[in-house]
Amino acid sequence: MSRKKDLQLRELALQIRLALMDEIMHLGFGHLSGSLSIVDALAVLYGEKMRVRYQQPDWSERDYLVVSKGHAGPAVYATLALKGFFPRSWLHTLNMGGSNLPSHCDRTKTPGVDMTAGSLGQGICAACGIALGLKRSGSKQKVFCIVGDGELDEGSCWEAIMFAAAHQLNNFYLIIDENNKQLDGDTKDILKHLDLAVQMRDFGFNVKNLPDGNNATAISDSITEIENDNLHGNTKPNCLVLHTIKGKGYKALEEMKLNHHIQVKQEEAQAAYEHLAEELHAVQSELQQYRTEADEVKGVVAESEANSEEFCRSYLAGIQANMYETGVSAAEPEFSVVYDGTDHVPNKDNFLSVLRQMRQDDPKIMYLDADLINSSGAYKFWQEHPENVVECGICEANMIGVAAGLSLVGYKPYCHTFGPFASRRCYDHAFISVAYAGNSVRIFGSDEGVCAAYNGGTHMPFEDLALYRAVPHATVLDISDGVLFKQALLQIKDRKGLTYFRSTRKSFKRIYNDEAKFVIGKANILHTGKDVTLIACGLMVGEAYAAMQMLEKEGYSVGVIDMWTLKPLDVKAILHAASTSNAIMTVENHNVIGGLGDAVAACLAENSCAVRFKKYGVNDEFGQVGTQAWLQKAYKLTAEDIVAYVKKHFLG
């Protein structure tokens, strides 16, 4: 490396450190130490190695950076500001109300941030998804991801590490900031890590171990070596283990044991700032003798050339407009009820046929599973289109993160696993990496409620609808019929944001004609009645319809609504039923807490509807094992049980 390039990298690193110091000193507190430790890596990436355009932050040919240790956001912001992505004045808004610079990186708020992070162990999963998507599209773009050594306590990091190796993501560059500290103290005193360089080699990575991880020249040279390795046949993912100093450049912080989040001592910080400024002056003075030589590092963008406030607002508005769906289609459902108590085609067969249809129409669909491809019915699709299938292993959290990353680079991911794993196991990843980050991912939780049958109580989700209903702007569907299942899969392909839908893998009772059309956000009114209206979802729609037939034979007038779309909820259908029926009763294969019953109850209460009302479902119980038929009887989820309950509470 030339002397000028070495000096230019040092210059940029010092400029970033000074901007970072000023940013935190102005606020008075923050994650300064862990931000200072990664500055040299950021200088190399933005000064030399990454292809980015500050005037076009979403440039489709750019390289990506995901800072999984999202609390190092202040360092990222200092870098992006100096590189022109937004006005430098924004640095003095860090963590302020309404700021575009929150404590942890957020792609929906800051131009130049590629992926939201902060909930540790998530950014690395999304980075793997980005790398996979780019590789499968044939792109030569690189994906860099910075994780902290303390962050490696998180199990999802190792899920992602195994994934990167299994899928030979040689376009993935994992940078480990091994500064030996985390919030509660030294990493060796929290959960002792072994030699990370050795571990990463054992996990199948091409590893460069840097004893001085704050040496920008060494970082640059190591990335160059990796690039050469890739040119000569390396298929492994790459890892740089940077042995850094937490608080680098601020001596008092370097020596502080508990330095994760600090209150700034202004005089001490000012002295450190002035020392860094002197270092920068010395470097720039030496650079003068090389001023006639060509620049090898892309330096700071002049403030006058940085993106304006107006540009940034417009750019972010575009991202935010695509975070989730707003409104409901004006179209109306069109269907005939053909219920006769017989079973439909197994949904495993429906799933396979729709995947094939979607792949034919749209090569950007991507099906992800967590070691359940053979159970979902899609194994043949995997054999036919391996380029559109991602086997994630038994790593549900990583699967959702990978899907988020795939969404970022233009794919349309469908994730499948059993309901409890699609909800309880990976909920935070779905909440943050998908919904909060504004990515579009469809999650299929199969074997809902008693449909889990022989898999028993550990696999029986009676709470998944409640969990996903609580995610802002999520779409939540409970499928009742095979025709509806196929239509729903097709309708959500281009739907923005997080969609969670639950359905059995087995057969439903057939309800709708094959030509039926449905609308997300609009219920299907199967039958109208004056004595009571049963508002049901999922498995229980067939049972509610059978109960209606039994009651009508006895002379009662009973309505049935398939409220398959719990979010958005069809308020109009609920209010109309309340105005035309003497009573409303919800019926669900779910805990009565948090699901359909609570959604309808809230709707009725908020609209001051004086109507008799009952919730019917699983009464705050855990699951158990048995056949589905036995379980339906055990939880009183049969048509006969519904009839008895309706007679007792409404028709007596």
Under DSSP, is residue 132 helix (H, G, I), strand (E, B) or coil? helix
Burial of 98 (0-12, 13-18, 19+ CB in 10 A): exposed
Report, as an integer, the average pLDDT of 175-180.
97
pLDDT in tens, 145-157: 999 999 999 999 9
Which among 107, 115, 110 has a CA at the least distance from the CA of 91?
A: 110
The rounded distance, in Å, linking the Cα atoms of 617 and 462 is 9
Specify the pLDDT at position 367. Answer: 98
The rounded distance, in Å, linking the Cα atoms of 462 and 459 is 10
pLDDT over threshold 80, residue 1: no
Longest dimension (CA), the chain: 100
Q: Give the contacts of 326 (CB within 8 A, at least 6 positions apart).
A: none
pTM of the model: 0.97
Contact between 148 and 196 (Cβ < 8 Å)? no
Contact between 189 and 253 (Cβ < 8 Å)? no
pLDDT in tens, 603-619: 999 999 999 999 999 99
pLDDT over threshold 90, residue 303: yes
Specify the pLDDT at position 23. Answer: 98
pLDDT in tens, 539-595: 999 999 999 999 999 999 999 999 999 999 999 999 999 999 999 999 999 999 999
Question: Residue type at 428?
Answer: D
Six-digit token string for 472: 């802002």
For 62, 196, 202, 205, 214, the CA distances from 235, given in Å and listed in that order, are: 21, 20, 15, 9, 27
Q: Mean pLDDT of all residues in the chain?
A: 97
For 136, 281, 432, the CA distances from 104, given in Å and listed in that order, are: 30, 31, 12
Contact between 410 and 130 (Cβ < 8 Å)? no
Six-digit token string for 147: 């994780």
Burial of 267 (0-12, 13-18, 19+ CB in 10 A): exposed
Specify the pLDDT at position 118. Answer: 87
pLDDT over threshold 90, residue 344: no
pLDDT in tens, 245-283: 999 999 999 999 999 999 999 999 999 999 999 999 999
Specify the pLDDT at position 161. Answer: 98
Specify the pLDDT at position 443. Answer: 98
pLDDT in tens, 201-251: 999 999 999 999 999 999 999 999 999 999 999 999 999 999 999 999 999
Question: Residue type at 222?
Answer: S
Strand partners, 145: 66, 174
Under DSSP, is residue 452 helix (H, G, I), strand (E, B) or coil? helix
The rounded distance, in Å, linking the Cα atoms of 351 and 370 is 16
**Any idea which residue has 């956001």 for tokens?**
73
